[in-house]
Amino acid sequence: MTTLLLSGLMMYLIGSLPGSLLLARWRGWADPRSAGSGNAGSTNILRMHGRGPAAAVFLLDAGKAALALAIGQQLQPESEIAPLCLDWLWLLAVVLGHVYPVFYAFRGGKGMAAFIGGVAWLQPQITALVFLLVLPVLILSRRSSMASLLALLLYFPLGLLAAPADQLDCQLWGAGITISVILFAHRANIRRLAAGKEPAL
């Protein structure tokens, strides 16, 4: 149990390093949380600094989640918990760290890039399928929040179909709780989308 708790704490700390804040500090930019949409995510970086920095932030955030899961799977703490449940516990910890980073006053991004990196590591085929389904929506609407929310809604049932039959409960609860955290982080976007006031890219 101690090993499990320590590994979860490590995943949270990895998640607590949002790519946009690290890149802003390295490049000497203003804190992205104090400009634009006020969010420490790749979309705000896109609006503030362009495609290159935004892509770098996305890769950093997605990459840290994949790296965290890779480390966790190597550690494999002795536990009666099913492997997929452990994977989702770790990914949830990374997403929570990204949204509520301890190093940055618990004000981070919205967790989508970290989620994508994690599920790409766990279920690459499903992640690729969801990307192909959502890409036209992103291109036509030019609203990353709409594409993100659609991706979450599509991934949930498809992820269940791809999960091992003996670990469906892990996929159900793990994905459900993690997606709920991300939806909560997007609550302002959801309100703006419903009101037709969400800005385009």
pLDDT digits (tens, 9 = 90+) for 75-107: 776 667 888 999 999 999 999 999 999 998 898
Can you give the residue range of the structural domain that contains 165? 2-195
- Are 137 and 146 a contacting pair, CB within 8 Å? yes
pLDDT(6) > 80: yes
Is the predicted pLDDT of residue 46 greater than 90, yes or no?
Answer: no
Residue 201 lies in a domain: no
Residue 38 included in any domain? yes
Going from the C-alpha of 194 to that of each of 28, 197, 198, the distances in angstroms are 36, 8, 8
Residue 40: the pLDDT is: 72
For range 11-33, the mean pLDDT: 86
Write the single-letter amino acid at 78. Answer: E
Say what the pLDDT of residue 178 is: 97
Q: Which residue has the higher pLDDT, 115 or 25?
A: 115
Is there a domain that residue 58 lies in? yes
pLDDT in tens, 146-200: 999 999 999 999 999 989 999 999 999 999 999 999 999 999 989 999 998 888 7
The rounded distance, in Å, linking the Cα atoms of 108 and 106 is 6
Asked if residue 200 is part of any domain, the answer here is no
Neighbour tally for 189: CB within 10 Å: 22
The pLDDT score that the predictor gives to residue 139 is 92
Instruction: Specify the pLDDT at position 78.
Output: 66
pLDDT for 98-142, tens place per residue? 999 999 889 889 999 999 999 999 999 999 999 999 999 999 988
> HEC profile for the chain?
CHHHHHHHHHHHHHHCCCHHHHHHHHHCCCCHHHCCCCCCCHHHHHHHHCHHHHHHHHHHHHHHHHHHHHHHHHHCCCCCCCHHHHHHHHHHHHHHHHHCCHHHCCCCCCCHHHHHHHHHHHCHHHHHHHHHHHHHHHHHHCCHHHHHHHHHHHHHHHHHHHCCHHHHHHHHHHHHHHHHHHHHHCHHHHHHHHHCCCCCC
How many domains, in total, are found in the chain? 1
pLDDT: which is higher, 124 or 23: 124
Tokens of 84: 């997929």
The pLDDT assigned to 26 comes to 87
